[in-house]
Amino acid sequence: MYVRIASRNYDGKRYDYWSLVESYRTERGPRQRVVAYPGDLQEEVRLGVREAATGGSGVRQPALMEEFEPVESEWVEVDVSRVRVERDREFGGFWLGRKLLEELQLPQFLERVLPRGYEDIPWSVMSQILVLCRLCRPSSELRIAEHLYERTALPELLGVPVEKVNDDRLYRALDQVLPHKEALEVHLKERLGELFDLEYDLLLYDVTSTYFEGESKGNSQARRGYSRDHRPECKQVCLALVVSRAGIPVGYEVFDGNKSDVTTVEEIVELMEQRYGKAHRVWVMDRGMASEKNVQFLKDGDRRYIVGTPKSQLKAFEQELLSEDWEPIREGVEVKICPSPRGEAEVFILCRSRSRREKESNPVGSQRFTRGLRSGSRRDWRRSPGRV
């Protein structure tokens, strides 16, 4: 961009007007368009323009000011103790977040699945407000509407006035996006894979919970169950999350608050296979998912796995625990690979940790092990299904 001057004579007097002009390319060649009209510039403003035109900003227009008489700088003393900042805005994080959304092609996806109707503000734009606030300042929709939004640069970045953002509109935006949850997960997985060349050969699965204050009568999934937040008196829902080895989310599901972890495995595995295909991947789960039924389900589908094994099965490996042929894999952690006691095509990986041993008074309690299928060489065999 650059500054352009235009002169006009009126009643025998010359008036100089200014415009901020931007150059852009078209199929017919470069063109210019006016971005803004600053109007008639006073002497002190002309001084600032002169300094910008002849300074080190990268765009130099020294000849622009040659026809004007030199203007000396004027200095004013300011009592900084009586100066205050008003209406400051958070800009950097939200600007960067919007650039990330553009790289993920999320605005285009939302515009495609949430076409414009009769709503005052497009649902695709309201959805971006929710995403950016969750990224930069995680909070409730009510707080976004009443406090957060007006303190950010989002009104300027997205063009949505502060008075147009309220909790009702934000909650309704969530309702609009929810039916497209599966398509959104597929889009993000594919786009992230293109940007970062991610690998999805190993998927980690776990379940957590979140509780509600109040009776939650409008939520049929809100139930009392095992509370990881130590709030058994509150109703909750269970959140099942699948991530890649790099920690990138692949998919999630919401279960009833009283659903146990072990009963979610088959549903999650089948959902991911329906969504992304039945690739030759490894499923990693903790001992809360371990049951003979789940292990048999994974075997029947010719799936590879690493699942946690109950401590009670350590009794079958007493001799291996006492021997010294452990292999260090990193500082303070050693492993040992053992065949299945029942002679099955499955392997167990015993693990012991120095820090874990110091944490737990029971030395046997510090041992952990994995179980899986043998697949030939030692290198391949480590990547085969197993229990941890």
Alpha-carbon distance of 9 to 282, in angstroms, equals 79
Instruction: Tell me the two tokens of residue 268.
Output: 């999650």
CB 244 within 8 A of CB 165: no
pLDDT of res. 379: 34
Instruction: Please check the confidence at residue 226 and state whether its pLDDT lies above 50.
Output: yes
Domain 200-307 CATH superfamily: Ribonuclease H-like superfamily/Ribonuclease H (3.30.420.10)
Q: What is the pLDDT of residues 96-139, one digit of tens each?
A: 999 999 999 999 999 999 988 899 999 999 999 999 999 999 99
Q: What is the pLDDT of residues 33-51, one digit of tens each?
A: 887 666 555 666 666 666 6
Q: Which has the closest alpha carbon to 113: 173, 200, 33?
A: 173
Q: What is the pLDDT of residues 351-386, one digit of tens each?
A: 888 887 777 755 444 455 555 544 433 333 333 344
Which phi and psi (to 5°) does residue 347 adopt?
A: -125, 155
Instruction: Tell me the two tokens of residue 215.
Output: 């009776």
CB 319 within 8 A of CB 347: no
Task: Show me where the domains of the chain are located.
Answer: 2-65, 92-182, 200-307, 309-388
Alpha-carbon distance of 146 to 140, in angstroms, equals 10
Give the ranges where 137-261 is alpha helix by DSSP (H): 141-143, 154-158, 167-177, 181-196
Q: Over pLDDT 90: what percentage of the chain? A: 44
CB 149 within 8 A of CB 162: yes
The mean pLDDT value of the chain amounts to 83
Instruction: Tell me the two tokens of residue 130.
Output: 């929710």
Tell which wins on pLDDT, 216 or 388. 216
**Predicted model pTM:** 0.66
Region of poorest pLDDT, from 11-20, 117-126, 237-246, 362-371:
362-371
What is the rounded average pLDDT of the residues 15-28?
78
Instruction: Please check the confidence at residue 249 and state whether its pLDDT lies above 70.
Output: yes
pLDDT of res. 285: 93
Q: What is the DSSP letter of 131?
A: H
